[in-house]
Amino acid sequence: MRFTLSSRAIAILLALLVASVLTTFAWIGPTLSFREACLGAGITVAACFLLVYLSFEALIFREVNNIYAGLEHVKRKEFRRLSNKFLFRPEPLKRIRDEILDMAVRKQEEIDELKRLQVLRREFLADVSHELKTPIFAAQGFVHTILDDDEMDELTRRKFLRKAADSLDALDALVQDLVTISQLEKGVVRMRRQRFDVAQLIQDIFEQLELKAKQRRVHLHLEPATLPANGMWVLADRNRIRQVLINLIDNAIKYGREDGHVTVTLHQAPKNVRIEVHDDGSGIAKEHQSRIFERFYRIDKSRSRDSGGSGLGLAISKHIVEAHKSTIKVRSESGQGTTLEFKLPKPKQDVAVEAPAAAVPLPG
């Protein structure tokens, strides 16, 4: 059983020991010769020093080490493991000061992050409220107009009902996007990986977006100009990657330069395929590049709303790509356009053996 004394008891005991040493020296000092007295004084000083040091060790350092042991417990709660051999090292007051400052810095960083997240949450609530109100008020206005006007002709009535239906369809699309991004963030959505030709998928998307590109006189290109005869195969969820590419290419068409070019480039590596979507628009400023994947974030809010879209496309694309163990990167310079890129893995058989194939030109 370990015997421990309180700090007060240790202080009293040390005081008695110091008093005893001094009393003994004072008692026998007059009977000693000069040399013996000097030796006795030295022994007394040494004994008092040891007793005073022990008093500091027992009364101060022990208490400080108890506090430090509490800090060690806090760190273990934070899943930080430190060696106990450093627990009773010299200068515990300096170490505990450093530890307190280090903890204060970490806590301040956590507070700053919480404040940032709170700002983002307020912005998100304001944005989603605005996005929901717009189609709701539009549909509500058309429906109430029809209800209040009994003499409205059939053609006008059907026109207003169609506009109300379009507003409700936009509302449904927004809600579906919110549900999708929520499921992606929670990891509920599972990627159904399959082997498919990404070059052919891009050609299909070009055909789907051809009308929108013509409206802005934007030319769509797939590079390189020639591809392997057996295609460029990747292993991914085809429908989800299709969603990502539609978002990226559609954004490039909308925000690129009129009479410009949107180029999708495929770079083949031994284990993956890098996909780049480039437009020759005005580019994205540096301060916006880190935020374009946030929900509802728009660089030019008025222009973006006029162009349509929920503001969730890039956020959804980011989560889909991350679910494929990759990341979307953005490269942009003012006046030089914007490039978004990500990588997809190749099927194992393609990685193991890449049979040479004759290059064939892409269809017009």
Return the percentage of the chain with pLDDT > 70, whole number. 75
- How far, in Å, CA of 60 to CA of 34, rounded? 38
- Under DSSP, is residue 355 helix (H, G, I), strand (E, B) or coil? coil
Amino acid identity of 160? F
* Strand pairing class (329-332; 338-345): antiparallel
At 158-209, the pLDDT tens digits run: 888 888 898 888 888 778 877 777 777 777 778 889 999 999 999 999 999 9
At 83-104, the pLDDT tens digits run: 444 444 555 556 767 777 787 8
Model confidence at 76, in pLDDT bands (50, 70, 90)?
A: low
- Under DSSP, is residue 330 helix (H, G, I), strand (E, B) or coil? strand
- Between 320 and 126, name the one with better pLDDT: 320
Model confidence at 343, in pLDDT bands (50, 70, 90)?
A: very high
Amino acid identity of 238? R
CA angle 215–221–223, rounded 5-degree value = 170
Bond preceding residue 356 cis, omega within 30 of 0: no
Q: Is the dihedral of CA 133, 135, 139, 141 positive or negative?
A: positive
At 1-16, the pLDDT tens digits run: 455 666 566 666 767 7
- Sheet-wide strand order for 338-345: 219-223, 261-268, 272-279, 338-345, 329-332
pTM equals 0.60
* Strand pairing class (359-361; 219-223): unpaired
pLDDT, residue 166, reads 84
- How far, in Å, CA of 229 to CA of 110, rounded? 54
Nearest to 167 by CA among 308, 307, 312, 298: 308
Contact call for residues 283 and 332 (beta carbons, < 8 A): yes
